[in-house]
């Protein structure tokens, strides 16, 4: 596979990044032979472990040791469940990441949920909620609320002053991972079978929006209002926010059939918050990139599972006061992502002021 054309990275040796972090998506490991996916693309199940190993070796060699890694979900493939290898395969990938002394923020993908239900996942090392931010009076309240609400797996943390990372749960509303008697399971069934009035007005049983597939999921109203609280805090404290999830939310950064069910609700929410810099996702193994009209970068990481032996797929992101520098490897293109300029932010804030009054009565369907 040809190397993607990379943007020339800024090599200003004088300026050190505030911090760096690693990103990797869709390892989907299984001890299984290569085979074509339902999309007629080759998947390299054993090679993916070697790619993960190489990514870790590269991160260890970085001049600036990554402060953490975003593992964007689908760490092991759903086929492990039928092979009765779920627990063993999870042990294999977890063992691999022990080779680097850097915390991993794990995100849950559909393949993880094909192997394990949510209650089980909470008890495994794939639950990195313990890395959530602590010790901040105002935000502790927001964090505490989310811990009470164990129905979604989302949290935030600040890796450096004035920067905040947020892990969001794009399978909060999903047919995977919850018992069929759970209200969110039933809500998901309604969404998929066209009985919901909450998604895409006009969608009917015979004309469902293309993102309404079982392998995608959505965000609950509770999670969106929790996120709104976190982002409001960040707006008010001049923080820059980097979000990470499994399922993408922008139609120009991924196939529409791979988007979150209620991606528009998430986009509407993010567009209200000047603090938001970017949204990392995986899930669409082809990857994608888009800077939206509100200056938010949508980065869909290429999937390791569909990366041949000659081309890995991971990145190291260096965070500066005015930009992110994404150093892609293999199939992932390198990019410089400048933050919104002060003048753009002012314009955005003025425009949003009117809209924000509506948030007194937030309406976040689904």
**Residues lying near Zn ion in the complex (CB under 5 A):** 74, 109-110, 283
Distances from the Cα of 73 to the Cα of 76, 212, 213, 297, 322, angstroms: 8, 19, 18, 19, 28
Q: Yes or no: say if 78 and 67 are a contact pair by the CB < 8 Å rule.
A: no
Whose Cβ is closer to Zn ion: residue 74's or residue 169's?
A: 74
Q: How far is the CB of 28 from Zn ion (least distance, A)?
A: 8
Q: How far is the CB of 26 from Zn ion (least distance, A)?
A: 6
Whose Cβ is closer to Zn ion: residue 113's or residue 326's?
A: 113
Question: Which tokens sit at 139?
Answer: 């935000």
Whose Cβ is closer to Zn ion: residue 48's or residue 364's?
A: 48
Whose Cβ is closer to Zn ion: residue 154's or residue 324's?
A: 154
Position with the least CB separation from Zn ion = 283
Quick one: residue 28, left, alpha or beta (phi over 0 = left, psi -120 to 50 = alpha)? left
Q: How far is the CB of 150 from Zn ion (least distance, A)?
A: 23
Q: How far is the CB of 319 from Zn ion (least distance, A)?
A: 26
Give the C-alpha separation, 213 to 362, whole Å. Answer: 27
Task: Decide: helix, strand or coil at residue 126.
Answer: coil
Which among 71, 117, 113, 116 is positioned nearest to 94, based on CA atoms?
71
Q: How far is the CB of 110 from Zn ion (least distance, A)?
A: 5
Give the C-alpha separation, 366 to 363, whole Å. Answer: 10
Whose Cβ is closer to Zn ion: residue 74's or residue 133's?
A: 74
């Amino acid at each position: 596979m040809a190397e993607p054309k990379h943007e020339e990275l800024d090599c200003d040796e004088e300026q050190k990044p505030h911090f760096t972090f690693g990103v990797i998506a869709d390892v989907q490991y299984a001890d299984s032979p290569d085979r074509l996916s339902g999309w007629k693309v080759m998947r390299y199940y054993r090679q993916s472990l070697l790619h993960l190993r190489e990514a870790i070796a590269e991160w260890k060699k970085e001049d600036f040791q990554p402060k953490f890694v975003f593992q964007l979900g689908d760490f092991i493939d759903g086929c492990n469940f039928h092979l009765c290898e779920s627990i063993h395969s999870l042990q294999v990938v977890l063992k691999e990441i022990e080779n680097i002394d850097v915390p991993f923020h794990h995100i849950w993908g559909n393949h993880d949920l094909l192997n394990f239900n949510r209650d089980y996942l909470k008890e495994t090392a794939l639950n990195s909620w313990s890395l959530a931010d602590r010790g901040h009076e105002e935000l502790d309240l927001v964090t505490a609320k989310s811990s009470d609400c164990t129905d979604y797996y989302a949290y935030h943390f600040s890796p450096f002053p004035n920067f905040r990372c947020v892990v969001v749960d794009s399978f909060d509303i999903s047919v995977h991972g919850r018992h069929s008697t759970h209200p969110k399971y039933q809500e998901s069934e309604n969404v998929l079978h066209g009985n919901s009035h909450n998604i895409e007005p006009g969608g009917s049983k015979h004309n469902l929006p293309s993102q309404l597939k079982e392998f995608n999921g959505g965000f609950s109203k509770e999670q969106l209002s929790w996120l709104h609280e976190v982002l409001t805090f960040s707006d008010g404290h001049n923080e820059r926010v980097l979000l990470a999830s499994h399922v993408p939310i922008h139609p120009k950064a991924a196939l529409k059939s791979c988007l979150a069910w209620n991606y528009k609700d998430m986009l509407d929410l993010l567009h209200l918050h000047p603090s938001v810099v970017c949204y990392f996702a995986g899930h669409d193994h082809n990857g994608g990139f888009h800077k939206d009209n509100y200056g938010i970068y949508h980065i869909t990481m290429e999937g390791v599972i569909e990366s041949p032996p000659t081309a890995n797929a991971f990145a190291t992101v260096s965070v500066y006061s005015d930009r992110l520098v994404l150093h892609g490897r293999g199939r992932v293109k390198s990019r410089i992502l400048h933050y919104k300029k002060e003048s753009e932010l002012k314009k955005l804030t003025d425009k949003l002021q009117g809209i924000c009054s509506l948030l007194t009565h937030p309406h976040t369907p689904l």
